[in-house]
Amino acid sequence: MLAGHAPIVAAVRPGILTIITGDTHQKIIVLGGLAEMSEKGLTVLANVATSLDELDVAQFADSISEMEAKLSEKEGSELDLALERLDHFKSIQNQLSTTAMH
């Protein structure tokens, strides 16, 4: 961030966040939240955060299946929100399978 610029606050959509400390790269799954960028650095306030090493991949897949099964119960804007959340979870799942290959 350039000196003299106002801090920026933005919504964080679900995804995989990589934290780099020196030569260490730690991947964290975040399920939404807020991020603030200021002269002090980046601060992420996540609704839910799980280390990739601690993630139960089978349970994550089960959560996606449950979300898909419940879509028929929703309509209108509630359905739109459910589809958006499902899309984010599937995107994370795709990133996980790509990460597992490397």
In order along its 102 residues, the chain shows pLDDT tens digits of 456 678 899 998 888 888 888 999 888 999 889 999 988 888 999 888 899 888 888 999 999 999 999 999 999 999 999 999 899 999 999 888 876 545
35 backbone φψ class: left, alpha, beta (φ>0; ψ -120 to 50): beta
pTM value? 0.70
Q: Which residues of 23-58 are buried (b: 16+ CB within 10 A; e: fewer)?
A: eeeebbbbbebebebeeeeeeeebeeeeebeeeeee
List strands edge to edge, sheet with 33-38: 8-12, 33-38, 41-46
